[in-house]
Structure 1
Amino acid sequence: MDYLNNTPKSRKNKHLNAYERGQIALLHSEGMSAYAIAKRLGRASNTIRNELKRGTVSQIKGNKTVNV
């Protein structure tokens, strides 16, 4: 069986850089979904979701969320 079609040609950096984080914040504030942002940046959608979740803090009283 040939596995050449299933392997990525080149793996990008393991971590997101500052530019990509800025793009994620900007595109998310414009209302784009995590999936659409991932397609535009060429990253996995779960990576984008994790980054968005990491930047959100929920307060104990009132279940309010604050973007940091």
Structure 2
Amino acid sequence: MDYFNDAPTSRKNKHLNDFELGKIELLHKQGYSLNAIGKILNRASNTIHNEPKRGTVT
């Protein structure tokens, strides 16, 4: 079975872009909880919780 990666649009919620990563870092430094940041960015809270573990945000 062949899989093609030529979809015209990206899949929803697949990756966080640089803007979202910066926004996570900024809001976290301002004291927002990771759950609140997820609601603000309209992303799953688990996605937001995983980013500091990956080291992409501080």
In the TM superposition, 1:46-61 aligns within 5 A as: 46-55=46-55
Structure number with the higher helix fraction is 2
Q: Given residue 23 of structure 1, which amino acid in structure 2 is its aligned partner?
A: K
Aligned-residue CA RMSD in angstroms?
A: 2.1
Q: Given residue 21 of structure 2, which amino acid in structure 1 is its aligned partner?
A: R
5+ long unaligned stretches in structure 2: 1-10
User: Which TM-score applies when normalising by structure 2?
Assistant: 0.71
- The answer to whether the Cα contact below 8 Å between 2:13 and 2:43 also exists between their aligned partners in 1 is no
Calculate percent identity across the aligned residue pairs: 65
Q: Which has the larger radius of gyration?
A: 1
5+ long unaligned stretches in structure 1: 1-10, 57-66
Q: In the TM superposition, what is the alpha-carbon distance from 1:12 to its structure 2 partner?
A: 2.2
User: Which stretches of structure 1, 4 residues or more, deviate above 6 A after TM superposition?
Assistant: none
Q: Secondary structure at the match of 2:12?
A: coil
Residues 1:26 and 2:34 aligned together? no
Structure number with the higher strand fraction is 1
Relative contact order: is structure 1 or structure 2 higher (C-alpha 8 Å, sep ≥ 6)? 2
User: Which TM-score applies when normalising by structure 1?
Assistant: 0.62
Residues 1:40 and 2:40 aligned together? yes
